[in-house]
Amino acid sequence: MSAWVLGGALALLTVSVGLPYIWFVRRRGNATVAGLHALAGLRWREFATLVGQAMQQRGLRHGGRDGDDPGGDGRGSRLVMTDGSQRWLLSCKHGLAYHLGDNHVRELAEEMEAAGARHGILLTEGRVRARALASAARHGVEVIDGRRLWPLLRPYLSTELRSQVEAGADRRARLESVVAVLAALLLGVATALWGPALGQSLAGTLAARREAAAAVPAQPPTEATREPALPAVSGPLPEDADIEAFPDDETLQFYRSEVVRAVSLQPGIGRTHWMTHNTLVVERTGSIDAIWPLICAELERYPALRTVRVQLNPRPGRDEQVRWRQCRTQ
């Protein structure tokens, strides 16, 4: 095969893999980052209005405002809401700099008790530490960080602001596409120019090593010369450093309870429970097409639960069959 043909094929392969990754994976991440910056730039009243609109879709209504955060920085406040029979207390840590820990959860739990609220929601454009998630499960608090907050509030942004975010993500994707194409061309040219010489040099080196090995008789290794066994290499880090990819049993059980609580709060979904460690049962009131993305969005947050089987029971009063699905197969 001609070196230029090989270089062209390699460049084409690089582009065919790189461009879809940029536009379908990285662009979504860039849009999330840009969206969170846009949310962080809003004034508190504008941010609180978006949060209130999103909560209304979950059946909550404004029950008043409980004042500013004791920190006095103007970036964190509380909202009192009600579902008609019970009070909810929302603690909004408005800003990208927040890294919420268990102290924030305990603070909200104390305020819930003082306000007579049965449920609490702690949300921020920033990040939430793993210890805060464990504390939230003990105190009955739902935690929503930046990665979950952006898709929750995005539908309620103004058309102008949403267009700015999407346009920024498109510009970034176009720039990365140009860089990827140039890198693929350089790789193809380098392969065509120096590939044959490098291949000949490598072949000569391998041949010389084979000849040297054939000239020396093989001897069994002694205890002194035997190399120590290498330690096993751990698997890749998870996407979110706060969520363990290989949790222990206690942490995995906590992740399962978080999935049940989060999925049960989604529209079109009723009671949710684990039938076995690998089967999640969902009692639905909405169509499968409408609720399935919501279920997978919660399961795919946890690498250890992405491949579990989901049992989708028929809607009440409907002549439907039980369905089983998986968000991912591996």
pLDDT tens-digit series, residues 161-184? 888 888 888 888 889 889 988 888
Within 10 Å of residue 155's Cβ, how many Cβ atoms? 11
- The predicted pLDDT at position 311 comes to 93
Largest Cα separation within the chain, whole Å, is 87
The CATH number of 249-326, from 1.10.287, 1.10.1060, 3.30.300, 3.90.320, is 3.30.300
Ordered by start, the domain boundaries in the chain are 1-196, 249-326
Class of domain 1-196: alpha beta
pLDDT digits (tens, 9 = 90+) for 126-144: 888 888 888 888 888 998 9
Which whole number is the average pLDDT over 260-276?
90
**pLDDT exceeding 70 applies to what percent of the chain?**
81
- The predicted pLDDT at position 280 comes to 93
Contacts by residues 187-193 (CB-CB < 8 Å, ≥ 24 positions apart): 187/7, 187/10, 187/11, 187/14, 188/7, 188/8, 188/10, 188/11, 188/12, 188/14, 189/7, 190/7, 191/3, 191/6, 191/7, 191/10, 192/3, 192/4, 192/6, 192/7, 192/8, 193/3, 193/7
Which whole number is the average pLDDT over 280-289?
91
Which whole number is the average pLDDT over 36-41?
89
pLDDT digits (tens, 9 = 90+) for 304-321: 898 999 999 999 888 889
